[in-house]
Amino acid sequence: MHRYVPATLGIAAVLMASTALAKERSALESASVKAASDCVAAAALKDPNIVTLYRENRLKEVTNRIVLRSSACDSPLTAMRLLHDRLYGAGTGRTFLLGDYLADLPRAVGERIAGEVVKRIASESGDDAAKGYAMHNGLEDRGTCYNRVYTREHLAKRPEQTVTSVLLHIVSDGGFALQVTRRGSDDVLAADGSCMQKIKGLLCRVDAKDGGSVRVVPSGRDGALLYLDDRIQVTVTDSDGPAQWLSAGKDDDVFQLNRVAERACRGM
């Protein structure tokens, strides 16, 4: 049996060497791809339209331009291509660069620049969520009040819509308050919580365990779209009754609201 030990050890040594080489190749590849993508992301942030391109999911336009028609990142891109040639054979680097790498680059760049893009949006009008939202509406340094009372004509055309009115207050400290009425009831359903700035508007979470959330997106100069994606927990105002759920439905998922005087939201 002992005569097989040297052969076994030799095979083990080859396997270990192969594994080590594969790890070295993987580390080299990862480092070269990271360096190239970091460079492209930095160059993308210099584009004066980068916030718009990011919002509209058009990063491919800027990444393609940087890779194909700019010299901004020639050095790291060339290094990545040549390393690929050395590891996998002549010509493979160009195939990788113009194929898989370029196709995935908008995602990679988007992840790298997301934080800076959000900062740029918020910095135009302040740091907190309400100010970041107010940027879109010229409402800096004060709260925003939105309202919609649906007419009988509107509701008649949408028999599956249960919501008859919406009152929304985005508070200057980054919070929100919401009041809703529904068909067949005089109850006023209320919810409140805190908002965080997103690329497009606000994400507002109800202050309750698993209470759900709504999205508030600017619409024109004086409007807002309130999105109810799933459901939120609400309570009846001036009542000690149990919490209820306001759920999204066919015609109860997006509400077009209009900005109104701040006094309409007093006392919410």
Note whether 50 and 139 are same-domain residues.
no
Q: Is 127 or 173 the better-scoring residue by pLDDT?
A: 173
Note whether 242 and 154 are same-domain residues.
yes
Note whether 46 and 118 are same-domain residues.
yes
Q: What Rg do the C-alpha atoms of the chain give, in angstroms?
A: 28
Cβ-based neighbour number of residue 217 at 10 Å: 16
Q: Are 98 and 108 in contact (CB under 8 A)?
A: no
Least confident of 26-40, 90-104, 213-227: 213-227
User: Is residue 196 included in any domain, yes or no?
Assistant: yes
Give tens-digit pLDDT for 22-47: 555 678 899 999 999 999 999 999 99
Note whether 117 and 189 are same-domain residues.
no
Least confident of 9-13, 28-32, 171-175, 250-254: 9-13
Note whether 119 and 161 are same-domain residues.
no
User: Is residue 65 included in any domain, yes or no?
Assistant: yes
- Domain end residue (candidates: 75, 91, 123): 123
**Parallel, antiparallel or unpaired: strands 213-219 and 202-206:** antiparallel
- Domain end residue (candidates: 92, 123, 154): 123
User: Is residue 129 included in any domain, yes or no?
Assistant: no
Query: Over 90: is that where the pLDDT of 62 sits?
Result: yes
User: Is residue 246 included in any domain, yes or no?
Assistant: yes
- Domain end residue (candidates: 66, 93, 123): 123
Note whether 150 and 107 are same-domain residues.
no
Note whether 81 and 142 are same-domain residues.
no
Note whether 104 and 167 are same-domain residues.
no
User: Is residue 128 included in any domain, yes or no?
Assistant: no
Note whether 140 and 105 are same-domain residues.
no
Q: Is 8 or 55 the better-scoring residue by pLDDT?
A: 55
Burial of 204 from C-beta contacts in 10 A (0-12 / 13-18 / 19+): buried
User: Is residue 214 included in any domain, yes or no?
Assistant: yes
User: Is residue 258 included in any domain, yes or no?
Assistant: yes
Q: What is the DSSP letter of 263?
A: G
Note whether 25 and 93 are same-domain residues.
yes
Q: Are 109 and 44 in contact (CB under 8 A)?
A: yes
Note whether 139 and 246 are same-domain residues.
yes
Instruction: Name residue, tokens 């990545």.
Output: 80
Asked whether the CA dihedral 238, 242, 248, 250 is positive or negative, the reply is negative
Rounded distance, CA 167 to CA 177, Å?
Answer: 8
Least confident of 112-121, 153-162, 248-257: 112-121
Note whether 156 and 228 are same-domain residues.
yes
Rounded distance, CA 133 to CA 257, Å?
Answer: 15
Give tens-digit pLDDT for 132-190: 444 444 334 345 899 999 999 999 999 999 999 999 999 877 789 999 999 999 899 99
Rounded distance, CA 180 to CA 192, Å?
Answer: 12
The per-residue pLDDT for 200 is 77
Least confident of 38-47, 89-98, 133-142, 199-208: 133-142
The per-residue pLDDT for 54 is 81
| DSSP string for residues in 167-227 | EEEE-TTSEEEEEEEETT----EEEEEEEEE-SSSEEEEESSTT--EEEEEEETTTEEEEE
Query: Over 50: is that where the pLDDT of 12 sits?
Result: no
Whole-number mean pLDDT of the chain? 83
Task: Provide the 3-class DSSP secondary structure of residue 118.
Answer: helix
Number of independent structural domains in the chain: 2
User: Is residue 257 included in any domain, yes or no?
Assistant: yes
Which tokens hold the place of 266? 């007093």
Domain that residue 81 falls in: 2-123
**Domain containing residue 220: CATH number:** 2.40.128
Q: Which residues are within 8 A (CB) of 132 and not within 5 positions of it... i.e. 6 or more apart?
A: 121, 122, 125, 126, 197, 202
Main-chain phi, psi angles of 192, to 5 degrees: -150, 170
Closest CA relative to residue 203, chosen from 221, 226, 237: 226
The per-residue pLDDT for 23 is 57
